[in-house]
Amino acid sequence: MSKVTVIDNVLPDSAFRFLHTFLTRQPVWNLDMFSDNNTYRIAGRVLYDSYNNINSETSAQALCTWTYCFIADKAKFLSSNIKRIHLGGKVGPQKDVPHTDEDDKDTYTVLYYLTPDWKKSWGGETMVGKEKIEYVSNRAVIYPSNIVHGGMSTKTPVFRTYINYIVKQ
């Protein structure tokens, strides 16, 4: 049985397109993020992290929190206890080193796919355990944070953007 929940069409299309345009034009992006010294640098920013006392208090953070409310409304098992919000973007050969986000079995990772008009042929799937989840615009993917996962590389110069939430139950 799959431990992954997939929710498509999280936002109305006009709100989704506004969110993408707004977030990608905000001066919050850092072009030198990485999760491991042996991986590609990625674009992104941790907007909120209660573990490390990070609170950007930006409009980008507010809109990401607003988007999470839409996701949680469709996934009733999620709590409102957001521990981290990370805005990210990857392109071309960039892929993640398989990893877990938390060791705690009571914590969920929520990925929200943010790039509009994504084509399946571009790749960019997320592997959650042995399950391959297709990158589909305006999709939320929810799974326990202690499951090994990682984003796959793409075949396009378009950024594969996402919002990554860590939520404690």
Q: Which residues pair with 163 in a beta bridge?
A: 87, 112
pTM of this prediction?
0.91
Question: Which of 43-47, 137-141, 160-164 shows the highest mean pLDDT?
Answer: 137-141
Residue with tokens 């305006």: 138
* pLDDT single digits (tens) 81-96: 999 999 988 777 776 7
> Which two structure tokens, joined as six digits, stand for 7?
């929710």
From CA 66, how far away is CA 21, in angstroms rounded? Answer: 15
Q: Is the dihedral of CA 127, 128, 133, 135 positive or negative?
A: negative
Residue 91's pLDDT is 78
> Which two structure tokens, joined as six digits, stand for 109?
């990772």
Ordered domains of the chain (ranges, CATH): 5-168 (2.60.120.620)
Crossing angle for the helix pair 13-24 and 59-74, to the nearest 10 degrees: 150
* Of 168, 158, 149, the residue nearest 35 (C-alpha): 149
**What separation in angstroms does the CA of 35 have from each of 42, 50, 138, 162?**
9, 18, 25, 15
Residue 33 — very low, low, confident or very high, per pLDDT cuts 50/70/90?
Answer: low
From CA 57, how far away is CA 54, in angstroms rounded? Answer: 9
Task: Taking residues 8-27, report their average pLDDT.
Answer: 95
Residue 84's pLDDT is 96
How many helical (H) and strand (E) elements, i.e. helices and strands, does the chain have?
A: 2, 11
From CA 14, how far away is CA 50, in angstroms rounded? Answer: 31
